[in-house]
Amino acid sequence: MTRLRRSILIIFPLLVVAAGLVIYAYRGTRGKTDIEFRIHINQQLVQESAFGESPTFAIWLEEPSTGRCKTIFVTRRAALGDWEGKAEVPSALPCWFEVYKSENQTRELPGVEKQAPVAVTGATPEPGYFITRARVGAGTSWKCWIEVNLSGDYNEHYQEYNEEAKTIDAFANGQPALIYSVVIDAVEGSAVTPSITGMCLPDSPGDSLIRPLKGITTAKSVFDEINITLKKPNPSILK
């Protein structure tokens, strides 16, 4: 067997495998669109909060026709129930916790025994830009929700200790979690900007956890920029 023939016998299978991987990677983008979330975390507000730690937040999509929700991203503390000495903090992300319960068919909040999937869990981003993507069917429509809470973000209405009422903020939440929403049509090249829908309280009266804003100040600027754009998917072998 000549050296050339041996080389061909070695290289040809590798080329076939490489071509197969390329086809596989591009096939995964067929009929799909990526939703890119670009969020800027206000460094000054983080530094001025009682703990100086970046906010806890979650992003999820809701299918309008069914109400089914899909978590895109959630910060580690909420996903793992890691609250440094507290068993749980139901006021951290009240609305996302309900999404978590529905997705995981449980009545419990995330914790050691039942954590959010690794695929959607991430370390709490440092102040600055945070970027993540979600892949959906091209032309589909979704309602996007983003919930955020900056611990220790106190103001005159939400105090660490209320002298008049003689009450303490047991979970050190400060101002309640805020929730943003926007409808997304998965059309490549389009862009939307979510707006604040309300604040989230775990003990809200009635069926809704979302209440009108009351006494909210700096919490509205924890995310001082939120951009959502629809982009062409990047081919990837890993799903």
Task: For the chain, state the CA radius of gyration.
Answer: 22
pLDDT digits (tens, 9 = 90+) for 68-119: 999 999 999 999 998 886 778 999 999 999 999 999 999 999 987 788 999 8
- pLDDT of amino acid 42: 97
Using pLDDT thresholds of 50, 70 and 90, give the confidence band for residue 2.
Answer: low
- pLDDT of amino acid 131: 97
CB 59 within 8 Å of CB 148: no
Residue 203: pLDDT over 90 = no
Predicted TM-score (pTM) of this structure = 0.85
Low-confidence winner among 17-21, 167-171, 177-181 (lowest mean pLDDT): 17-21
Cα dihedral 85, 91, 92, 93 in deg (nearest 10): 140
- pLDDT of amino acid 208: 78
Using pLDDT thresholds of 50, 70 and 90, give the confidence band for residue 238.
Answer: very low
- pLDDT of amino acid 36: 98
CB 79 within 8 Å of CB 110: yes
Write down the mean pLDDT value for the chain: 87
What counts of helices (H) and strands (E) characterise the chain?
4, 13
Cα-based distances in Å from 23 to 27, 31, 110, 207: 6, 14, 39, 48
pLDDT digits (tens, 9 = 90+) for 5-60: 565 555 645 444 433 333 333 445 689 999 999 999 999 999 999 999 999 999 99
DSSP state at residue 221 = G
Domain ranges of the chain: 1-30, 31-231
Element (H, E) at 46: helix 43-48
Low-confidence winner among 27-41, 117-131, 142-156, 212-226 (lowest mean pLDDT): 27-41
- pLDDT of amino acid 6: 61
- pLDDT of amino acid 29: 62
